């Protein structure tokens, strides 16, 4: 399986892989390619992707600006229960970064502890931030370390 198999299986035309344009430098490349490939709305009826202002993403701070209030709400809800997330939240170093929202109002976040975005994995939490699930891939469009 390669990074665009999920997109192709859904019958969505996969965009060409741009070379030398900075894709994958700030956030995982498979996410950027997925955003470019799928129209606005929920991906596979289950995940609403964060839509960066431009591709490729040039700044993690700019990418997270739209989700900053969601991260603050998450931190506040966890502190209110005297709990914390399994990893710090962005903008803390290595902090988790939300990249979408599930159809049940859960939040998929990247675990950014690896220095290379290609090695980031996903942590998904439910709408109440009670359960946290680690997934071995960065975005729904691919698996880290697999070539197209």
Rounded Cα gap, residues 133 and 104, in angstroms? 15
Residues 28-76: pLDDT tens digits? 988 888 888 777 766 667 888 899 988 899 999 999 998 998 899 889 9
3-class DSSP assignment, residue 35: helix
pLDDT of residue 35: 85
| Reported pTM | 0.80
Calculate the average pLDDT of the chain.
81
Residues 44-55: pLDDT tens digits? 678 888 999 888
Residues 78-91: pLDDT tens digits? 988 888 899 999 99
Which residues, in sequence order, are CB contacts of 44 under 8 Å at separation 6+? 6, 10, 140
């Amino acid at each position: 399986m390669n990074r665009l198999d999920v997109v192709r299986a859904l019958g969505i035309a996969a965009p060409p892989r741009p070379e030398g344009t900075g894709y994958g430098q700030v956030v995982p490349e498979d996410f950027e390619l997925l955003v470019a490939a799928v129209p606005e709305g929920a991906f596979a009826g289950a995940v609403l992707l964060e839509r960066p202002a431009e591709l490729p993403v040039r700044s993690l701070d700019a990418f997270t600006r739209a989700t900053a209030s969601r991260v603050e709400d998450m931190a506040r809800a966890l502190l209110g229960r005297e709990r914390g997330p399994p990893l710090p939240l962005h903008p803390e170093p290595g902090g988790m970064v939300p990249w979408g929202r599930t159809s049940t109002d859960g939040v998929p976040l990247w675990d950014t502890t690896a220095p290379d975005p290609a090695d980031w994995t996903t942590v998904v939490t439910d709408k109440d931030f009670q359960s946290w699930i680690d997934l071995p891939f960065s975005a729904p469009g691919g698996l880290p370390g697999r070539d197209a």
